[in-house]
Structure 1
Amino acid sequence: MNIDILSHEKNLLKSRARIAVADCDIHPSPKSVEIEIFPFLSKRWQEYMKTYGVIYRQGFPTGPAFPKGQPNAARRDSYPTSGGKPGSDLAFMQSQHLGPNNIQLGVLNPLQCAQGVQNQDFSAAYCNAVNQWQIEQWTSKDHRLKASLMVPYEDPLASVKEIEKWAGNEHFIQVLLLSRTAEPLGQRKYWPIYDAACKAGLPVAIHAFGYGGAPVTGGGWPSFYIEEMVGHAQNTQSLLTSMVIEGVFEKFPTLRLILVEAGFAWLPALSWRLDKLWDRMRDEIPQVSRPPSQLIREHVWLTTQPMEEPEVSNQLLDTIEWIGWENLLFATDYPHWDYDDPSRAMPIKIDKHQKESFFLNNALKLYGLEQ
């Protein structure tokens, strides 16, 4: 359940999860790019970044097209007491989030990492730098934290090289892409990334956001930030449809896909529509030999934040049961403003087994971390 920071900020530090939790979406940030990231960049790319900056694949070259609901899209209480951006101080994260909420596994998903920017060579160098930074500043200092393998996904060959470099490294548990890509993610341009991830035994996570050069909705540029927020689900449905219809899951039968921060209640309706159209038009796509809903259930997991919250709570239960409890991964989105507190996140009553699966065991099983 989304927290109203203005109303509940005094209670956030006091919240306690009653069971162990896997948080599958934590956003770390460097305190300073020059201090923490530059040591992992060559002199060439340091000078390039100082001179030209990060040039995004869109008409808004300096950053997101829409201002966020809060500065840095962050909770007001998430700024470290030592200074710096939210998510930039491990000790503060430990005391505010990891410890109080009994986080046993925290998956780091860095954003603003130059993954899909115009200069693909710079993108590759910066992704590699962020991968090294995650280990040095985070995962080597707290065993609960695991890193996402950042790749320059618009350059599949460079992405494969980065995956192969880190394959088998215990610090990384997934490959991370962003959802707004230059082309639909089912197209063959991106297949080498899926192939390399499968060979490395890593799931592919796709986080909402990014810069593909197109408007953030299928109908053009919207007027308001709230429309961009809603558009994350629209974009994610499009990429999932592309991956199903292009035959990605049949080509890579061991591929595990995680959809991050795009909600999940839309999945049943999308699956029903895909099944209906596949049944009528399957001769157009012989590469898809089974109903799309079957492929989705076998290959797709979704993080729960932001969770849809219908007024009739049992409707949420019906939705989850159709998707499958085992296909949902709990996430807080810490330190962002729409953070989901583990003690408040599930607005319906569930049994002990469902709770343990939802908050912890699904993630441990998916990432191969079961003891």
Structure 2
Amino acid sequence: MSTGNPRPLISVDSHVVEPKDLWLKRLPQRFQHQAPQVQSTDKGDYFVVPNTGMPPKPVGTEGAMINTKINGVITRATGYRFEDQRPGAYDPAARLIDQDSQGVRAEIVYPGWLIVHSIPDFDLKVACVRAYNDWLFEEFCAHDPARLIGAAALPVGDGPIEPAIEEARKWAARGAKTFLLPQSVPGKAWGDDHFEPLWAALEEIGLPVGFHQAAGQVAMFNDKTTPGVFWTTAIGNKISLGWVFMQLVYGAVPERHPGLRFILVEGGIGWIAFQLNTMDHMFTDHHRWTVPELALKPSDYFNRQFWATFEDDRPGILTLPMLDEKRLMWAGDYPHTEGNFPFAQEQVAHDFQGVDEATVAAITHDNAIDLFGLSIPALTRA
């Protein structure tokens, strides 16, 4: 665990693990038979969404983590009872203690049960998202809104776009700093006309919009016949954020809405330089065939309207000479097993070897203040 005077950090991608009875308490009666919940078996505890056809998911895969270091190597073990999780996963007071131990001044908080975005019944999904947002802002983040900064989830899927717009306006009016969309909506691309009223409303509201990997699923990375399907899905979810970027750019969403700001959350940054270079090359060679016609190169849209987050990406840091540092932000991913708690300071020191102090401070702290408009002083540097 970090000691002494740690580097101040802001995590732009952390998570909460929702109470096991959140939806049992908050959903309308007509949805109670499908309320997401934790069920205990002799093999462990599972997240389930009953009567929907969705498979159960072990609690441990959502962040029931204990990190230890053996011979200098971080090992991660997950408990499979809800109560075995680290208290900071669901207790905001305990979360702040863990933040302090890592030098984390604030966190953007995303859901733990990202599977809620995959609920097939649209009305149930809308009800679940509304209940989650109410709990997140009224209970968890209310403990310290300056440090626990919730991302308001927007319900999108096989249904009307109005509920998403309503949630966005509701929480923007109540002080939210950012929104959450899934990485994909089956059968729809982000440039489809279906989403146009949402983009117009979000541009008017003016808050940044995050697409989080593993919220929703990308079919090409969810092939159950592929060996090692867990790994192909987990890695594919991250890769898919480059696909999200392409859908938005080639769907002309940033072209039509230059005031929108997008965040590609938990996909790392090592892919960005290659993808922008390739997309720019294709634009230069083939832009006369592009429909709809784009006025700018893909990299111009990225450097104007996109940000990306990472928690452990030394290869991505090595591509910094080809990127705009203002578009990159560090994340702790607490309390997930892929995160770096309780070794955030060590991970930052490793990833940023050889990088100047001003750049490190920008990526691990100041860029988040600028993007989200946080009431936290920027770091002063000599």
Please tell me the TM-score bracket, short chain as reference: 0.7 to 0.9
Bigger relative contact order (CA 8 A; separation at least 6):
1
Secondary structure of 1:62's counterpart equals coil
Q: 1:61 aligns with which of 47, 54, 57?
A: 54
Q: Are the structure 2 counterparts of residues 50 and 258 from structure 1 closer, same or farther at C-alpha, using a change threshold of 3 Å?
A: closer
Superposed displacement of residue 294, structure 1? 0.7
Structure 2 alignment gaps of length 5 or more: 38-47, 68-77, 378-382
Question: What corresponds to 2:299 in structure 1?
Answer: 293
Question: Are 2:365 and 1:363 aligned?
Answer: no
- AA aligned opposite 1:237: G
From the superposition, tell whether residues 321 and 342 of structure 1 become closer, same or farther in structure 2 (CA, over 3 Å).
Answer: farther
Aligned partner of 1:320 in structure 2 is 320
- Would you say 1:102 and 2:103 are equivalent positions? yes
Choose between structure 1 and 2: higher strand proportion. Answer: 2
TM-score (norm 1): 0.83
In structure 2, the partner of 1:247 is: 252
Matches of 2:329 and 2:198 in 1, distance apart? 23
For 2:317 and 2:267, how far apart are their aligned partners in 1? 18
Q: Which amino acid aligns with 1:210?
A: A
**1:26 and 2:14 are equivalent in the alignment:** yes
**Which residue pairs with 2:184 in the alignment?**
180
**In 1: Cα distance, 2:63 partner to 2:18 partner:** 15
Separation in structure 2 between the aligned mates of residue 286 and residue 151 of structure 1, nearest angstrom: 27
Which one-letter code corresponds to 2:310 in the other structure?
A: T
| Matched residue type, 1:31 | P
Contact 1:21–1:104 at 8 Å: present in 2 too?
Answer: yes
Contact 1:55 1:62 in 2 (8 A): no
User: TM-score, length-normalised on structure 2?
Assistant: 0.81
- Aligned with 2:177: secondary structure? strand
Q: CA deviation at 1:368?
A: 1.4
SS of structure 2 residue aligned to 1:134: helix
> For the structure 1 residues 139 and 217, does the alpha-carbon distance in structure 2 shift closer, same or farther, using more than 3 Å as the test?
same
1:124 aligns with 2:126: yes
Identity %: 20
- Aligned-partner Cα distance in 2 for 1:264–1:88: 28
- Select which of 349, 357, 376 maps to 1:352: 357
Residues in 1 aligned to 2:324 and 2:199: alpha-carbon distance in whole angstroms = 24
Which secondary structure does the structure 1 equivalent of 2:173 belong to?
coil
- Counterpart CA distance in 2 for 1:61 and 1:47 is 14
Using the TM superposition, name which of 155-164 and 182-191 deviates more.
182-191
Cα 1:281/1:246, change in 2 over 3 Å: same
In 2, Cα distance between equivalents of 1:289 and 1:55? 48
- When residues 325 and 16 of structure 1 are mapped into structure 2, their CA distance, relative to the original with a 3 A threshold, is farther
Q: 2:154 aligns with which of 147, 151, 155?
A: 151
Unaligned runs of 5+ in 1: 1-11, 311-315
Aligned residues, how many?
343
Change in CA separation of 1:71 and 1:242 when aligned onto 2, cut-off 3 Å: closer
RMSD (CA atoms): 2.9
Q: Say if 1:325 and 1:135 are closer, same or farther in 2 by CA, change over 3 A.
A: same
One-letter amino acid of the structure 1 residue matched with residue 338 of structure 2: D
